[in-house]
Amino acid sequence: MPVAVRDLQMEQDVRGIKIQKVGIRGLEVPIVIIEKVPGRSQRTIGVFNMYVEVSPNQRGTHMSRFVEIANKRKKLNLKMLQDEFLPYLKQKLKANKAHVEVEFTYFIRKQSPMSREFCQLPVKCKFTASDYHKPKLTVITPITTVCPCSLELTQDNSAHNQRGYVTIETISQEIVWIEDIVKIAETAGRFPVYPLLKRPDEKVAVQAAFKKPRFVEDVVREVAKQLKHIRVIEWYKVSCENVESIHNHQAFAEIEKED
């Protein structure tokens, strides 16, 4: 006869301290992200962080249920994560509040500027569905920037330039498309980064960047200017981090929308 095994997680806890987030981190699951173009979607790998609130009088939660739930849901956009996944998670875990992050690589189909060849630009994204705030989208877009100060100093059109990363976080009740956020970042950075550039493309890319040099300060302001006018975006934070070509540290600027 089996020994009666206690369900320790369901025991009373006497320490009287609420835990805002209990759950799992770093769970990798194949997922499908719905694209902006109607009817299209793309397969990728989601890294899930999933948490629920544990009330002051309860000892813990059942970790294995998070895994079951993450393995069930395959097709996702941020709205579905907030409106369907989050409530289901709370129901299954008998929790009042939950918070879910899904990180993934998303491919943007691009055409090089002159040779018109197609290739795919990977951007790093995160969906955050939460009972602590409205749904949040995070997109990291690589860009190229030429330093204006350097161009001014040399007076001979030579200037240091480098790869930078624009990180845009937006909070919005309605869907904001990754595709649109990438476009905003690329415009602000002056010239997009392309995986594939043939020689005529490279010429155009470099000259365009030199015609409009930008500090990290300029990049984040250009992005903020555009985000301010998108009605559905209630809050945003934008940063630009440049892998300085002449230093071994990074240049950085960040704007957060204040109320």
Chain positions 3 to 42 lying near a second copy, rule: CB under 8 A, are 3, 5-6, 8-9, 13, 15, 17-30, 42
Question: Using CB under 8 A, which residues numbered 189 to 218 contact a second copy?
Answer: 191, 193-199, 202-203, 205-207, 209-210, 215-218
Q: Could you tell me the CA-to-CA distances from 88 to 65, 75, 85, 93, 157 in Å, in that order? A: 11, 15, 5, 9, 58
Contact flag: residue 221 with a second copy (CB under 8 A): yes
Applying CB under 8 A, the span of 33-41, 87-95, 139-147, 173-181 interacting with a second copy comes to 139-147
Q: Looking at beta carbons only, is 162 or 187 nearer to a second copy?
A: 162
The DSSP symbol for 10 reads G
Q: Does 179 bind a second copy (CB under 8 A)?
A: no
Within positions 71 to 110, which residues make up the interface with a second copy, using CB under 8 A?
71, 105, 107
Kindly tell me which of 64 and 259 has the beta carbon lying closer to a second copy.
Answer: 64
- Please work out the total of residues on this chain that contact a second copy, with binding judged by CB under 8 A: 102
Under the binding rule (CB under 8 A), the answer on residue 254 touching a second copy is yes
Contact of 78 with 112, CB cutoff 8 Å: no
Contact criterion met (CB below 8 Å) for 18 and 52: no
CA atoms of 190 and 184, how far apart (whole Å): 10
Strand bridging mode 75-76 / 235-242 = unpaired
241 bridge partner residues: 165, 252
What separation, in Å, do the N-terminal and C-terminal C-alpha atoms of the chain show? 64
Residue among 79, 92, 160, 183 that touches a second copy (CB under 8 A): 160
